[in-house]
Amino acid sequence: MNRLTEFMLPPAKSTTAGEVDALFHFINVTSIILLAGITFTIIYFAWKYRRRSEDDVTPVITHNSKLEITWSVIPLILVMIVFGWGLSGYMNLTTAPDDAYEVRVVAKSWLWEFHYQNGHVSVNELHVPVDRPVKLVMSSDDVIHSFFVPDYRIKRDVLPNRYTSVWFEAIETGESIIHCTEYCGRAHSDMNATVFVHTQEDFETWLESADAIDEDMPPAERGEALVTRSGCMACHSTDGSRMVGPTFQGLWMAERTMEDGEVVTADENYIRESILEPNARINEGYDPVMPSYQGTLSDRQIDDIIEYIKTLD
């Protein structure tokens, strides 16, 4: 069974992955057995009751009570097994342990924000401790998204105007990929993030230093790191190519035409407004899809991003 799991599924890295895999394999194996049995029966009956001469007459068979009960009861039993097994797993995944570490997840087009208990916010990076339950309380700022980590066998829709939750407990340190599995717009396929699993000590160290700014780095370099970490590259290019949003190359002090015909200069105030209130002014030819970074980026971080944009002539 382990070889079958390795062949068909990604690595199982959570405490609940085994239960999910067991149900998955039960459904597949049962389906294969039924397929083989039905296929064999069809071929056998086609051969046994083939017409051997022109005088052969097909007998009229009205019904067979035992056979009809059998082929009704067996599928009913299998369906009830799958239902009960699936319900048990579903209830387990929706009922987090009392000692679970809670992380708020906010989905936006097209990135994931993770809000930790100490107030830190990370973008497209979920950091968690190993061997400790982690509860994710999730909501969306715009459309329906879906949070899916194949390695942990967890998937849950993330909805606007309400909360959904799911939990997991990682059993080994390392990295795993997060996907959005609900089509959410033009850059849906780029809405990926990474789970970083640390030891408890390393996780606490990361929480303490996550907001630290390297004062030795020039502001533009800090801004470049922030642009990458905040998921800006999913929608904005730095080489002049057109993506979901305007390119950063040549943006600084350029004349930008808005959809209402207004022409503005891309100075500090314009860039700051675009980060905090992106839908206040929409560039001509682009859709109003950028999420707000209000509460995600500090004033200092916005200043660093502006300094980085200034370097992209």
Tell me which of 197 and 267 has the higher pLDDT.
197
**296, 115 contact by CB (below 8 A):** no
Question: What percent of the chain clears pLDDT 70, i.e. is strictly above it?
Answer: 96
Distance in angstroms (rounded) separating the CA atoms of residues 304 and 268: 11
The band of 213, judged by pLDDT with boundaries at 50, 70 and 90, is low
CATH number for 101-209 (one of 2.60.40.420, 2.40.30.170, 2.30.30.90, 2.60.40.10): it is: 2.60.40.420
**Is pLDDT of 164 > 90?**
yes
Bridge partners (DSSP) of residue 283 are 258
Q: What is the pLDDT of residue 182?
A: 93
Distance in angstroms (rounded) separating the CA atoms of residues 65 and 70: 8
Question: Three-state DSSP class for 197?
Answer: strand
Q: What is the pLDDT of residue 198?
A: 96
Q: What is the pLDDT of residue 234?
A: 75
Structure tokens at 254: 């350029």
Residue type, 27: I
In this prediction the pTM is: 0.73
pLDDT tens per residue across span 90-120: 888 888 898 899 999 999 888 899 999 888 8
Distance in angstroms (rounded) separating the CA atoms of residues 94 and 292: 30
pLDDT tens per residue across span 112-149: 999 998 888 888 899 999 999 999 999 998 899 999 99
Tell me which of 156 and 120 has the higher pLDDT.
156
The band of 80, judged by pLDDT with boundaries at 50, 70 and 90, is very high
CATH number for 2-94 (one of 2.130.10.10, 3.30.460.10, 3.90.800.10, 1.10.287.90): it is: 1.10.287.90
Question: What percent of the chain clears pLDDT 90, i.e. is strictly above it?
Answer: 39
The band of 302, judged by pLDDT with boundaries at 50, 70 and 90, is confident
Distance in angstroms (rounded) separating the CA atoms of residues 263 and 18: 58
Question: Three-state DSSP class for 40?
Answer: helix
**133, 170 contact by CB (below 8 A):** no
pLDDT tens per residue across span 35-79: 999 999 999 988 888 877 777 777 777 888 888 999 899 999 999
pLDDT tens per residue across span 243-267: 888 889 888 888 888 888 888 888 8
The band of 211, judged by pLDDT with boundaries at 50, 70 and 90, is low
Distance in angstroms (rounded) separating the CA atoms of residues 103 and 90: 20
Averaged pLDDT score across all residues of the chain: 87
Distance in angstroms (rounded) separating the CA atoms of residues 77 and 20: 20
What's the burial of 301, exposed, middle or buried (CB within 10 Å: 0-12/13-18/19+)?
buried
What's the burial of 137, exposed, middle or buried (CB within 10 Å: 0-12/13-18/19+)?
middle
CATH homologous superfamily for the domain 219-310: Cytochrome c-like domain (1.10.760.10)
Distance in angstroms (rounded) separating the CA atoms of residues 277 and 25: 48
**Is pLDDT of 281 > 90?**
no
Q: Where are the domains of the chain?
A: 2-94, 101-209, 219-310
The band of 2, judged by pLDDT with boundaries at 50, 70 and 90, is low
Distance in angstroms (rounded) separating the CA atoms of residues 162 and 138: 8
